[in-house]
Amino acid sequence: MKTLMVILFTGVVDRIVDDLVAAEIDTSPEVVLMHLSAFPCPLQEGDSFYLVQYDGEEEIVCGEPPR
């Protein structure tokens, strides 16, 4: 059985201060703040990430989304 994956938004890390990540995301004109522990990978400024939803679960994935 195939699973449908929906990309909810894509983002780019603007800066990291202590345990907060300031990111630009494609669904908001504002910079958003996210906790560093929400990311499953080490981050640095300029890194890309995206939020997906599948099987009712949401997950942050590091890197560029698949085409």
Tokens representing 56 are: 């009712």
Q: Which has the closest alpha carbon to 6: 63, 59, 64?
A: 59
What's this model's pTM, rounded to 2 decimal places?
0.88
The pLDDT tens digits of the residues spanning 5-28 come to 899 999 999 999 999 999 999 999
CATH of residue 31: 2.40.50.140
Q: 42 or 2, which is more confident?
A: 42
Tell which wins on pLDDT, 19 or 66.
19
H or E segment and range at residue 47: none
- Asked if residue 47 belongs to a domain, the reply is yes
In a domain, 41, yes or no: yes
pLDDT at 20: 97
Would you say residue 31 lies in a domain?
Answer: yes
Range of the domain at 51: 6-62
The span from the CA of 34 to the CA of 46, in Å, is 15
pLDDT at residue 66 greater than cutoff 90: no
